[in-house]
Amino acid sequence: MTWIIDNIVEIIGTISGLLFLYLEIKQNKWLWPVGLLTSVMYIYVFFVAKLYADMSLQFYYVFISIYGWVLWSRGANKSDDQLPVVRLSRALFLTLFGASMLIYVFIAYILVSFTDASIPYWDAFTTALSIVATWMLARKILEQWLVWVVVNAVSMGLYIYKGLYPTTVLFFFYTVLALVGYLQWKKDMLRSQAISGN
């Protein structure tokens, strides 16, 4: 019976995760409440799989979903109706790279020292990059898609290893569609810049 519940929760999370990705590519602000639902489902899935960093990441996603909803609802400022897509500056890249490394070391230490995590270093790696990439998504930074390509591809391998096959399928689509998302957002950004004359 537990196995059935586990699979139902994982399938609901997978379906809502695919819907989230579709809405993200379309730059539709409703991605944030759908993402919140996905996160709630995966808190359970990752707890059962003993992927504790991934589970903790879902709690972060709940809060960042609220943050993203607010940002995307009000635009870049009160006169905008939509937050524009922007490029990652070199200074911000260095800051985010440093933040990723610090988060990785912290999470890896916690997982190795205080949990029975099955693959702590890889779990910490994908979690650290996901934290940064989701913040970039909330700010509509184009290059967040490239970070997701790495995260999703590595995660796919982890989920195959853990036998989470519906989630593996989800992350296969995440990996492919992250490339699609990058190209779509870049096209939209260039079109917006051409219209505004920037």
Question: Mean pLDDT highest for which of 67-76, 123-132, 167-176?
Answer: 123-132
What range defines the domain where residue 173 resides?
Answer: 2-196
How many CA atoms lie less than 13 Å away from 109 in the CB half-sphere? Answer: 6
Is 80 exceeded by the pLDDT of residue 197?
no
pLDDT of residue 32: 94
pLDDT of residue 90: 96
CA–CA distance, 168 with 36 (Å, rounded to integer): 20
Q: Is 157 exposed, middle or buried (0-12, 13-18, 19+ CB in 10 A)?
A: middle
Instruction: Return the number of other C-beta atoms located less than 10 Å from residue 22's C-beta.
Output: 15
What value does the CA radius of gyration of the chain take, rounded to a whole number of Å?
17
pTM for the complete prediction? Answer: 0.84
What band does 75 get if pLDDT is binned at 50, 70 and 90? low
3 state SS of 86:
strand
pLDDT of residue 5: 81
Asked if residues 188 and 85 have their Cβ atoms less than 8 Å apart, the reply is yes
Here the tokens at position 182 are 């990058």
- C-alpha 124 chain-centroid distance: 14
Cβ-proximal residues to 62 (8 Å cutoff; 6+ apart), any chain? 36, 39, 40
3 state SS of 48:
helix
pLDDT of residue 198: 58
Instruction: Note the pLDDT tens digit of each residue in 85-112.
Output: 999 999 999 999 999 999 999 999 998 9
Asked if residues 35 and 20 have their Cβ atoms less than 8 Å apart, the reply is yes
Domain count of the fold of the chain: 1
